């Protein structure tokens, strides 16, 4: 098992990619803090993982609220005594064409997807520095690298995540902390479940592998970057997109 003895916080872990990552990390021996805004769903998801004999606990958090983030980190440290890995996976979308994008929707996506990453990383940083090593994994998107129609706010945040990732990799590498990002492509989640079948087929045809990704595809990328095998990987953006952006 690749994460034995490690403690990992995964934000947005009540469902989708985050939940898949929580299960993969726990299966590989980590103690996992399932951190999510949705308390009811988070408790259910954590309980289901514990029923599989994984060491998992739920922590309610609003990543856009620094006090909430600080409280969550303190609770994790109180329970597990340390933090080794942070996966900044939480994110939201409020899509609209630029001409129709409400300023409030622009700001709320920034608050969660960009400022939330800053809050969580800064709050966890003292624990990682105390360890003398650590892993920070941020979730970007192909939209943040190449843009996407109707996603001004989302693309801006995911591009910002790339910039923060590379900056932190330079700042923190000498402290034994690696910082990397994963850029998912089209992934089968609750969001894509709402997309009409005809559009889904068009999306699949854009991908050389001719299929959408699964949450586990992203979770496995997180796992690699969190593992000892990735000890010399720093400041990278790992595209997990089926080759859509070649």
Angle at alpha carbon of residue 110, lines to 122 and 236, rounded to 5°: 60
Q: Concatenate the DSSP letters of all residues of 27-90 into one string.
A: HTT-EEEEEES-HHHHHHHHHHHHTTT--EEEEE--TT-HHHHHHHHHHHHHHHS---EEEE--
| 31 DSSP β-pair partners | 7
Q: Is 154 known to be catalytic?
A: yes
| 178 DSSP β-pair partners | 135
Number of residues assigned to the chain: 246
Q: Which of 54, 80, 154, 222 is catalytic?
A: 154
Are 26 and 54 in contact by the 8 Å Cβ rule? The answer is yes
Q: Taking the CB of residue 229, how many other CB atoms lie within 10 A of it?
A: 11
Cite the active site residues. Answer: 154
């Amino acid at each position: 098992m690749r994460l034995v003895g490690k403690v990992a916080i995964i934000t947005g872990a009540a469902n989708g990619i985050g939940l898949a990552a929580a299960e993969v990390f726990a299966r590989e021996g980590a103690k996992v803090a399932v951190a999510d805004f949705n308390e009811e769903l988070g408790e259910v998801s954590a309980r289901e993982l514990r029923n599989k004999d994984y060491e998992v606990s739920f922590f309610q958090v609003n990543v856009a609220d620094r006090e909430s983030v600080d409280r969550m980190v303190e609770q994790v440290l109180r329970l597990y005594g340390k933090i080794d890995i942070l996966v900044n996976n939480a994110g939201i979308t409020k899509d609209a064409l630029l001409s129709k994008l409400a300023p409030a929707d622009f700001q709320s996506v920034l608050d969660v997807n960009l400022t939330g990453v800053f809050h969580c990383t800064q709050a966890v940083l003292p624990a990682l520095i105390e360890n003398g090593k650590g892993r920070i994994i941020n979730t970007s998107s192909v939209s943040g690298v190449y843009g996407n129609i109707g996603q001004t706010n989302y693309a801006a945040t995911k591009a910002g995540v790339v910039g923060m990732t590379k900056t932190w990799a330079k700042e923190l590498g000498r402290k034994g902390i690696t910082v990397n990002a994963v850029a998912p492509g089209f992934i089968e989640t609750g969001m894509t479940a709402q997309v009409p079948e005809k559009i889904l087929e068009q999306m699949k045809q854009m991908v050389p592998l001719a299929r959408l990704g699964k949450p586990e595809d992203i979770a496995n990328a997180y796992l690699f970057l969190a593992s000892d095998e990735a000890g010399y990987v720093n400041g990278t953006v790992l595209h997990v997109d089926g080759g859509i952006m070649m």
